[in-house]
Amino acid sequence: MVKIDYKENWFQTGPTLTIALYGLKGARYVEDKCQVKLVGGRKLFVRLVNAQGITIFEKQWHLFDYINLNDSCKVILNPSNVQIVLQKANGRSHWPELVVKQQPGKP
């Protein structure tokens, strides 16, 4: 995996949650190498690669609340950022944070 410095931001609008990743220039969609996977409704895993198929980004989030991976969820590769657009399971809820805060003494 190539180490690339990136910046992460997130925002929500109604039922939609977007994670924006900046600094991942060269990210490409390569069949069977890029991955956006949801485990248990709250653990999101993302892997992005460059044009040569080399992994440039890999991360897992334990999200604050549940999301649905459906046809409206998508990854948008822009020249300036990568946006991961997700649908909240409870579209009316407001998330105070993106991820669950780790409790003291728990890994």
Q: Are 48 and 40 in contact (CB under 8 A)?
A: no
User: What's the token pair of residue 25?
Assistant: 């220039």
For the segment 54-64, the average pLDDT, to the nearest whole number, is 93
At 71 the pLDDT is 79
Distance, in Å, from the CA atom of 74 to the CA atom of 87, rounded to the nearest integer, reads 10
Distance, in Å, from the CA atom of 26 to the CA atom of 56, rounded to the nearest integer, reads 9
Q: What percent of the chain has pLDDT over 90?
A: 48
pLDDT-based confidence at 106, cuts 50/70/90?
Answer: low
* Contacts of 68 by beta carbon, 8 Å cutoff, 6+ apart: 41, 86, 87, 88, 89
- At residue 30, does pLDDT exceed 90? no
